[in-house]
Chain A
Amino acid sequence: MILERSAPLGSMRPSEVFVSLVSFHLPLSESDVMQARNTRIGLILFAIYLFFYTGFVLINAVSPETMRTTPITGVNLAIVYGFSLILAAFVLAMLYGFLCHRTPSDTSSEATPDRKVTLEDEVQE
């Protein structure tokens, strides 16, 4: 499978190179650049969360007594950190939705048409 590129590798930004490698048959377009940006945002936010989550797991594994400390009077770190992880998941998700731009190719899927059944077929039944 030969990958087409519309510009020499050296002149493209890393995310564009990345997207051109994973979009299997189209030359680089505006939608691909959007997708590259969206993907990059996703991976950065993922990395942030991973850091936060790993911190929680490692503290529990390596120094569980730390979880006993009370950042808020009477409420220990275990609870505070746990709730924060849950809240952070939602906040990051919202951030992601906010930062991502709608790509123009959103409504045209690259799925091969042979298995796709449209609403028109439905109506005829």
Chain B
Amino acid sequence: MIYEPSVIAVIAFLVFVGLTMGLSFYLAGKAKSSAGYFAAHGEIPWFVNGVAFAGDYLSAASFLGICGMIAFYGYDGFLYSIGFLAGWIVALFVVAEPLKRIGKFTFADALNAKFQSRGITLVVGLSTLAVSVFYLIPQMVGAGALIQPLLGFEHWVGVLLVGAVVVIIVVSAGMVSTTYVQFLKGSLLVIFSFILTIMILNRGFEVRQGGMDGYQFQTYGPFPHDVLKLRTAEDHAALAVVGGELTRGIGTDRDLPYIQAEFLSENEPIRTFRIEPVSDSAALLVEAQVVEVTSQGQVLVNGQPKGEKKGEPELHPVGYLSKLPGEAQSTGSVGPIEFFQTLHDSEVVLWSKDSFKQDDGSTRTVYFQKPTPGNEVLMPGNHPKFAGIRSDEPSQKLNFVSLMLALFCGTASLPHILIRYYTVKDEESARKSTIVGIGAIGFFYVLTLFLGLGAMVSGAMDVTDTNMAAPLLARSMNIWLFAIISAIAFTTVLGTVSGLILASAGAVTRDLLMDFGGVHLDDAQQVRVAKLTSIVVGVVAIVLGILFKGMNVGYLVGWAFSVAASANLPSLVMLLFWPQTTKQGIIAAVWVGMISSLGWILLSADTFSSVYGYPDHPGFVPFSQPGIVTIPLGFLTLIVVSFMTRSKSIA
């Protein structure tokens, strides 16, 4: 699809970023000491902190990734919503109170409250860094994917923009501004998502044959199978006669279910159709879309060079219903329950893709229609990564359970979430702020299901990019809403990235340099080093964000959650609840958890196909999600090593 920067979007965007940075500089004076820099004096009001939790937590993955996943595959994206939110229960009920009571400035300090151990500080500092970096990558990739359609710039520009802006904010003002940025972002995100949901319900459903550009996808036939083999001139002629507008079919060069056809009209001389059998003897030709990247790097869309401006060749937007219950053509506005009921009995046209390398070195990707009954769309198991739960393979079911476990355990283990506990003045405020956070986040996730499904039928989806579903949905409704939501999405990324950079700065300055390295820094020096670290981590994040372009954002976040849960949670929980925990136990558990989860991920089939580029490699582990193995492994290691070293812990 061609994205033309809209002037409104650019202005709204600049206004938002300007406001954010203005706020940050205005509050800059408050963060001169290291205590201020790291933990905002503990004077942030609980309500603000609670909404800031939401702003911090609802990152690119939630907003862009989940909505996009739901828009393209249905219910499965919602599984992430459920898992992400459930993790807060672990955070609130198990970890929050005890942690606040013994906590200081960073996660490592909390662990160190009982043992003063350089070994602990080292490994926890490293684990904080590792998780922060893994969590940063999807945010930066999301930024690139966001800027490109919004403002028309290349992916790397978006990444660079986010990196630069965040580093400036963090370096100039530290935690205080970050909190208020995230409070702002959190409230706006929830409010405007709510507005968008109301608009979706108001618009209702209608039956269409194509997306919002008015293009109608055609279906021809049914043709007998042998005619579709197109071996003879008669076959071609037969196709032409029965097909009406078709003049000539061009067979594909392999045993693939596609045919290309020429048309009488000039606008798009070649179209691709997928052969969909309707019986043993006949099949329909259902229109598809094709993107071809030649060996010279030229991009062709449906046979023509991809255009730059509107009106030139591009992929058509998609996302529509092919059938409504009772043969209706449209419904009026619907209530929230009616929304699901109607969808349940409708048929939606989803789009799948098929990619293959041709003999001449080019890569062809065919995007084809997959009409799906509404009740299928609303069931888990539609997405390729979740389809395994419908099969009989135990390893795939274990994979699913493993992911849900990692999401459940991961929230409490994220270093950038934990830091926020220290910015309120006492335990009760910490409790209240977490409740506000859960309320806001839970409400937002409820909205994501409406947003995602609304996008699915909006007629505005770009088949190649799931991440743009939510903003494109907004664009299909109202240009102002689009501008605002895009700006909010950008600030979303800003907020999350600043939190992560701060966590990394804390880890490097206090844990690695001062505690483990023994370097003495006074307050002013600490702040300076923290700022320098922020810049370095920012640069690393920018580079990685550019390198990982195109990777699924949700997948990367799953990485971060799995590593966090495996490395941090066992130690955190056991320290808070099991008095026989020894420092060697903690050190061993964090190392083992971190390395086993990282190793598992790097050896998994998913990584081989998405990162290394070997799609059919089975990997060296039975399934891709490490959680169900590495989290218990962390606990086990801690228990065993603590037992082995217990005599040393009795004073």
Which A residues fall within an 8 A CB radius of B? 1-3, 21-22, 24, 35, 38-39, 42-43, 45-46, 49-50, 53, 56-58, 60-62, 64, 67-68, 70, 72-76, 78-79, 82-83, 85-87, 89-90, 92-94, 96-97, 100, 102-103, 106-107, 109-112, 115-117, 119, 121-122, 125
Contact = CB atoms under 8 A, between A and B. Distances in A.
A83 B378 CA distance: 13
25 contacts: A1-B114, A1-B651, A39-B97, A42-B92, A53-B86, A56-B82, A57-B405, A60-B400, A64-B390, A67-B380, A75-B337, A76-B378, A79-B75, A82-B81, A82-B82, A86-B446, A89-B85, A92-B89, A93-B435, A93-B438, A97-B435, A100-B428, A100-B431, A106-B427, A115-B105
Contacts of B89: 45-46, 49-50, 53, 89, 92-93
A18 B75 CA distance: 43
A121 B442 CA distance: 39
A116 B427 CA distance: 17
A4 to B, nearest CB: 12
Contact of A76 (B36, B82, B344, B404): B344
Contact of B97 (A3, A42, A83, A85): A42
Given A64-B390, A78-B75, A106-B427, A90 B98 contact: no
A124 B114 CA distance: 33
Query: What's the dominant secondary structure at chain A's contact region?
Result: helix
B446 A96 contact: no
B431 A75 contact: no
B604 interface: no
A53 to B, nearest CB: 5
A96 B93 contact: yes
Interface string B384-417: 0000011000000100110011001000000000
Contacts of B378: 76, 78-79
B94 interface: yes
Contact of A89 (B36, B337, B442): B442
Given A50-B89, A64-B379, 19 more contacts: A1-B114, A42-B94, A43-B93, A49-B86, A49-B89, A57-B400, A57-B404, A57-B405, A60-B389, A61-B401, A68-B375, A73-B341, A78-B75, A79-B75, A85-B85, A86-B445, A107-B426, A110-B101, A110-B102
Contacts of B636: none
B105 A38 contact: no
A74 B88 contact: no
A125 B524 CA distance: 12
A26 to B, nearest CB: 11
Contacts of A112: 104
Q: Which 9 A-B pairs have CB atoms at the shortest separation, nearest pair first?
A: A74-B341, A117-B35, A46-B93, A42-B93, A106-B426, A61-B397, A93-B435, A1-B651, A21-B579
Nearest to A115: B104
A90 B438 contact: yes
A86 B438 CA distance: 9
Nearest to A80: B340
B51 to A, nearest CB: 14
A113 to B, nearest CB: 11
A93 to B, nearest CB: 4
Nearest to A81: B82
